Amino acid sequence: MEIIEVTDLASRVTPYLFIDELHGSAIGTIVGGGISRDSDFPKEEFKALQGEDAEINDYELGNFVKKIIEELQDPDLSFLPHLTSADDLNKLSESLAQWCSSFLAGFALGCSEERSELAPDIQEIIKDFAALTAMEAEDVPGSVEEDSYTEIFEYVRVTVLWMYDLMIEKS
């Protein structure tokens, strides 16, 4: 799915959240709940998670969730965490950290199991994502900043797809 298409859909859901927040929490909710159909998405609980000030459009949220599920189920593995557009690595890193934070909040909303009941691999990924929420590009040594960021971004992308498959199998 085109980044512009997802960003456009997100702006129609609400103009009050950044794409990294909205996309991360929606993906987290879908993955955590092992949701394979947009009709199973907990809209009211999700809207409560975003807060009343977010002014979520129900119809557009349904379209957004449908596209996200298609993205997660794409056999070409085209899923990407959608981040707030940025020109520098520091801002991209902050956006990815926000995406991971929002993903964890959504995952907690969608998942009916206690963390200790989840597969050990999923528990480890949750710990990794929690650590990534504090990520700052300045923490990475100079010449490898971009390579490190790319490696972390790819780790997030692939592990989300893997977690989704695992949670779908459980549901």
Please list the alpha-helical segments (H only) found in the chain: 3-13, 19-33, 43-50, 58-73, 89-110, 120-132, 145-170
pLDDT tier at 81 (50, 70, 90 boundaries)? very high
Give the pLDDT confidence score for residue 85 in this predicted structure: 76
Number of domains in the chain: 1
Please list the alpha-helical segments (H only) found in 111-142: 120-132
Give the pLDDT confidence score for residue 95 in this predicted structure: 92
Token pair in block for residue 10: 């997100």
Provide long-range contacts, Cβ within 8 A and 24+ apart, for 143-151: 145/89, 146/89, 149/89, 149/92, 149/93, 149/96
**What CATH number is associated with residue 101?**
1.20.120.740
Q: Which helix H or strand E contains 81, and what residues bound it?
A: none
pLDDT value at 140 more than 50: no
pLDDT tier at 1 (50, 70, 90 boundaries)? very low
For residue range 24-54, list pLDDT tens digits in order: 999 999 999 999 999 999 999 999 999 999 9
8 Å CB contact between 122 and 32: no
Give the pLDDT confidence score for residue 136 in this predicted structure: 57
Give the pLDDT confidence score for residue 88 in this predicted structure: 79
Produce one character per residue of 121-158: b if its CB has 16 or more CB atoms within 10 Å, e if not. ebeebbeebeebeebebeebeeeebeebbeebbeebee
Give the pLDDT confidence score for residue 137 in this predicted structure: 45
Q: What is the mean pLDDT of the chain?
A: 89
Token pair in block for residue 94: 């902050």
Give the pLDDT confidence score for residue 92 in this predicted structure: 87
User: In 3D, which of 95, 163, 92 has the Cα closest to residue 125?
Assistant: 163
User: In 3D, which of 16, 161, 163 has the Cα closest to residue 79?
Assistant: 161
User: What predicted TM-score, i.e. pTM, was given to this entire model?
Assistant: 0.91
For residue range 95-123, list pLDDT tens digits in order: 999 999 999 999 999 999 988 899 999 99
Give the pLDDT confidence score for residue 139 in this predicted structure: 54
Domain region containing 28: 3-170
pLDDT-above-90 percentage for the chain: 74
- CA dist 99 and 119 (Å) reads 22
pLDDT value at 16 more than 90: yes
